[in-house]
Amino acid sequence: MDHQEKKILNSIDVKRMIDYAQRLIRSKSINPPADYSEISRIVFAENKKFGLRVEFFEGHPGKRNVFSLVEGSALQGPVLCLSGHMDVVPAGDERSWKYPPFGAEIHEDKIWGRGAADMKGALAAQLYALAAVKDSGVPLRGTVMLGNTVDDETAGKWGMKYMVEGGLTSKGWPLPTFHVLGEANHLNTTGSFKGRLWLRIVMKGKPAHGGAPEKGINAIDKMIQLVGKIKEIPRGKHPLMGEDTLNLGILQGGTKVNIVPAECEAHIDFRMCPPPDTTSSLHCFQETIGRLKAEDPQLAVEGFDIYERRDPVEVNFDHPLIETSKSCIREVTGNEPLREGALSAGDLYHTLKKGIPGVWIGPGEINILHQTDEFLDIDELTRAAKIYAFLILRVCG
């Protein structure tokens, strides 16, 4: 770390960065319903304060991504994209939280609230890292892009997917050549990601009086029977990603307690490690349904829909820019960054599938995401900003 780099890192306005992170957390960008009207205005205004080129990218009404840019001097220079999503999952029962989930209160040197780690803290760190580099006057050869995206929490198509598949180029913006997503991983390098299938299965039964269930076919019973068989499908395992997982997220059916249910609907989230992919996993599901139908003629699967499908992806950890990222982490934290896997690639999936190399580097504890009492350690937030500033200098300087 030379004198100029050290000076830039020490010039990051930590107090204003924390204040910005708090304002983002207090903006209830809960998805669903995914109302971005307030948070997108906050993000736009804060980026504009630093003289960045800022624009809304709205591929669908209400789906307002906010991207900003500092263009480098080289026509064919690198384009580093630092990004994160603006939406958060619901807080659930707010009474069960230690501190108000949208209060963004500071206690024990931590910011508490929904979105603190997932991932409004990272958005603040990325902006204030770029602001420190820009204010230093250091000339950049490469271009720096900040992405604040929508709908990550519901795997929507109007966030990063839209941006790399036409949103950026529609306004003459370049595509990234390297993407760092600020998902929480304790400032390590995460680049091995499970694939996933989100399935909707509809089971048909036959209604009858609840007092004479033998005269009907109970669709809920049949669905439970099917899900039990699906859970018996052998699971794979990966050294970084862990084991395949299956979650029965929704099970609904029936109209009254005294009527045999004529229909049942189940939604399943299945995450798979390589070498299997979504095609081979679907084949296993369909084979299981076929065998069960052969054993039980009363089992009637009327609907089988796939509404989210992503194959497993892994980055090339030997890529020079990932090596650069590791050196930035090492110099700021003093630790050797761990090589990790995760249950989903999030927004990084869309850039990786586009052939753009990238990695997760973000502040926060991944094991507390989507749970009560989410928090972000302020020291880690500060270290994240320094790592992002280092990345800008090393990749684009």
Residue ranges per structural domain of the chain: 3-192+312-396, 195-310
Residue-by-residue DSSP string for 177-213: SEEEE---SSS-EEEEE-EEEEEEEEEE-B--BTT-G
Q: What is the pLDDT of residues 241-271, one digit of tens each?
A: 999 999 999 999 999 999 999 999 999 999 9
CA distance 287 to 349: 28
Token readout for 140 is 């950049």
- Judge if the upstream peptide bond of residue 176 is cis by omega within 30 degrees of 0: no
195-310 classified as CATH 3.30.70.360? yes
Up-side HSE of residue 149: CA atoms within 13 Å toward CB? Answer: 32
Spatial CB neighbours of 124, under 8 Å, sequence gap ≥ 6? 17, 18, 20, 21, 24, 381, 385
pLDDT score for 75: 83
Q: Tell how far CA 324 is from the center of its chain.
A: 23
Question: Alpha-carbon distance 181 to 349, whole Å?
Answer: 10
pLDDT in tens, 34-49: 999 999 999 999 999 9
DSSP per residue, 33-90: TT--HHHHHHHHHHHHHTT-EEEEEESSTT-EEEEEEE--S-TT--EEEEEEE--B--
- The pLDDT score that the predictor gives to residue 6 is 85
The pLDDT value recorded for residue 3 is: 78
Listed as ranges, residues in the chain with pLDDT below 50 are none
Helix (H, G, I), strand (E, B) or coil at 258: coil
Which one of 3.40.50.300, 3.40.630.10, 3.40.50.720, 3.40.50.1260 gives the CATH number of domain 3-192+312-396?
A: 3.40.630.10
Contact indicator for 247, 269 with CB cutoff of 8 Å: yes
Q: What is the DSSP string of 133-167?
A: HHHHT---SSEEEEEEES-GGGT-SSSHHHIIIII
